[in-house]
């Protein structure tokens, strides 16, 4: 129970002014621009876009600046802003096979068609602090000239999916039944999640889910609190064209491109009475360069398929309601943060109850002791 508390207006105004001062920091140091954040902290920007569930790097960078770098606060700002915009329909399903690859690696096949392309990565670095960045020296950049282009990359040809190699032998499940038409997926921004939730809704939920939460769930399920220790079949990052069909035109047009990271996990599956032993898939995708997120989504996504694949649901990561209702950092933060609101009356009542209980217990002990003394 909350009681209206008045009298804090002046203090709140001053607290916000102080926040703005602290956000600005030492005025002798140049102010950070939104463009600088967007260009130089792109991985932080990508996280805001993912969990804010809006692809717009400039808005995400602005939110990050406004929130003094607090990711969850920035995500909240972006989510709040999206509610002010009208919805112009749905895009055509993005064709990630036509992605312009900037990075693509497989943990299952060394010589995959199209090759392993490392792109830009922190993998294989020694994780030693680079003090040249502290000295504000110019950072080393990639040489302008590069190797001769492979024909496929130069022509912008699509790279076939690694898992299709297994598909040819029938060793892996298909991502859809042949002859299945497209179903219109439920949109959890328009209707609440019903359990059990279909795969499309689970993916939408995971894509906007908290990266840390999903990472930890994946870790737990790989360590034994779940049955998910897969191979990374393929991970790819690159640009994909976005198409939509405006009502007034009636044909699809390209409206721009998005940078995406996609992860496909290959899990063992021992088969069931209806299905032969084969590999199954976990799928993850994220805005921008967000491998940790995409992999975590793929791992949790696969764990949540336990029920449909006839696996026993034994662990929290396999429990839809446990996972899907706790992924959202805005909800989680809101509920934890609400404890900061005045609970004066609730607490008063509990305080009085504890006092009364202690008093009653004290009286009972005292009368018991008196009785024992009398009986002695």
Partner 1 sequence: MSVEQQQENPETRARQHWMGVLAKSAGSTLQQHWQALSLEPEYQFIRQPETGLTMLRGRVGGSGQPFNMGEMTLTRCAVRLASGTLGVSYVAGRSPQHAITAALADALLQEDDTQALLQHELIEPLQAHLHAEHQQRAAQANSTRVDFFTLVRGED
Residues 3-22 that bind partner 1 (CB under 8 A): none
Q: Report, in Å, the least distance between residue 271 CB and partner 1.
A: 20
Of 120 and 375, the one with the shorter C-beta distance to partner 1 is 120
- Is 179 one of the binding residues for partner 1 (CB under 8 A)? no
Q: How many CA atoms lie within 13 A of 116 on its CB side?
A: 11
Q: Which of 8, 25, 113, 119 is in the footprint of partner 1 by CB under 8 A?
A: 119
Interaction pattern, residues 224-263, with partner 1; x per rule: CB under 8 A = ---------------x-xx-xxx-xxxxxxxxxxx---x-
Tell me if 153 contacts partner 1 by CB under 8 A: yes
**Which of 47, 50, 214, 220 lies at the binding interface for partner 1 (CB under 8 A)?**
50
Q: Which of 200, 205, 197 is nearest to 184 (CA)?
A: 200
- Give, for 81, the enclosing helix (H) or strand (E): helix 71-82
Q: Return the residue of 26, 182, 372, 373 that touches partner 1, per CB under 8 A.
A: 182
CA-to-CA distance for 288 and 91, rounded, in angstroms? 18
- Identify which of 262, 298, 293 has the alpha carbon closest to the alpha carbon of residue 280: 298
Distance of CA 264 to the CA centre of its chain: 16
Q: Does 139 bind partner 1 (CB under 8 A)?
A: no
Q: 36: how many CB neighbours lie within 10 A of its CB?
A: 13
In angstroms, what is the minimal distance from the CB of 313 to partner 1?
20
Q: 254: which strand partners?
A: 243
Could you tell me the two tokens for 96?
Answer: 């990630």
Nearest of 101, 235, 95, 241 to residue 162 by alpha carbon? 235
**70 near partner 1 (CB under 8 A):** no
93 binds partner 1 (CB under 8 A): yes
Candidate segments 20-28, 35-43, 118-126, 328-336, binder of partner 1 by CB under 8 A: 118-126
235-267 as b/e, with b when 16 or more CB fall inside 10 Å? bbbbebeebeeeeeeeeeeeeeebbbbbbbbbb
- Told to check if 94 binds partner 1 by CB under 8 A, we report yes
376/373 Cα distance (integer angstroms): 5
Q: Tell whether residue 103 is a contact of partner 1 (CB under 8 A).
A: yes
**Taking CB under 8 A as the criterion, which residues in 309-338 touch partner 1?**
none
Residue closer to partner 1 by CB (options 164, 225) is 164
- Judged by CB under 8 A, the residue of 71, 188, 214, 324 near partner 1 is 188
Q: How far is the CB of 57 from partner 1 (least distance, A)?
A: 9
Q: Within a 13 Å sphere around the CA of 58, how many CA atoms are in the beta-carbon half? A: 1
Instruction: Show the tokens assigned to 242.
Output: 């976005």
Compute and round to an integer the Cα radius of gyration of the chain. Answer: 27
> Of the two residues 202 and 218, which places its CB atom closer to partner 1 in the complex?
202
Supply the minimum distance, in Å, between the C-beta of residue 195 and partner 1.
17
Residue 212 CB, shortest distance to partner 1, in Å, is 18
Tokens of 110: 């060394």
Span 268-287, contacts to partner 1 by CB under 8 A? 281, 283, 285, 287
């Amino acid at each position: 129970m909350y009681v209206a508390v008045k009298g804090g207006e002046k203090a709140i105004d001053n607290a916000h002014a102080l926040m703005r001062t602290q956000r600005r920091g030492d005025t002798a140091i140049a102010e950070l621009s939104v463009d600088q954040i967007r260009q130089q902290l792109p991985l932080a920007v990508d996280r805001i876009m993912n969990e804010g569930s809006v692809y717009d790097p400039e808005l995400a960078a602005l939110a990050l600046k406004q929130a003094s770098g607090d990711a969850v606060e920035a995500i909240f700002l972006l989510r709040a802003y999206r509610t002010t915009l009208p919805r112009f329909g749905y895009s055509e399903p993005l064709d990630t096979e036509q992605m312009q690859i900037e990075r693509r690696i497989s943990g299952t096949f060394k010589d995959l068609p199209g090759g392993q392309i490392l792109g830009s990565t922190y993998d294989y670095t020694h994780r030693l602090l680079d003090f040249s960045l502290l000295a504000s020296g110019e950072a080393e950049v990639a040489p302008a000239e590069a190797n001769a282009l492979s024909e496929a990359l130069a022509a912008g040809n699509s790279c076939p999916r690694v898992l299709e190699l297994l598909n040819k032998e029938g060793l892996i499940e298909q991502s859809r039944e042949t002859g299945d038409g497209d179903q219109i997926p439920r949109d959890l921004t328009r209707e609440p999640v019903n359990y059990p939730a279909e795969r499309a809704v689970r993916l939408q939920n995971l894509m906007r889910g908290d990266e840390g939460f999903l990472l930890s769930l994946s870790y737990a399920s790989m360590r034994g609190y779940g049955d998910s220790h897969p191979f990374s079949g393929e991970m790819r990052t690159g640009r994909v064209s976005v198409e939509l069909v405006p009502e007034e035109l009636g044909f699809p047009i390209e409206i721009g491109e998005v940078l995406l990271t996609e992860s496909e996990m290959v899990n063992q599956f021992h088969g069931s009475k209806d299905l032969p032993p084969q590999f199954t898939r976990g799928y993850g995708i994220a805005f921008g360069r967000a491998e940790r997120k995409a992999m975590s989504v793929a791992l949790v996504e696969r764990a949540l398929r336990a029920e449909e694949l006839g696996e026993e649901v034994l662990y929290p990561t396999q429990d839809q309601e446990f996972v899907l209702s706790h992924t959202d950092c805005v909800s989680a933060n809101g509920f934890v943060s609400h404890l900061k609101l005045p609970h004066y009356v609730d607490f008063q009542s509990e305080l009085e109850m504890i006092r009364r209980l202690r008093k009653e217990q004290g009286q009972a002990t005292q009368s018991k002791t008196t009785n024992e003394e009398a009986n002695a």
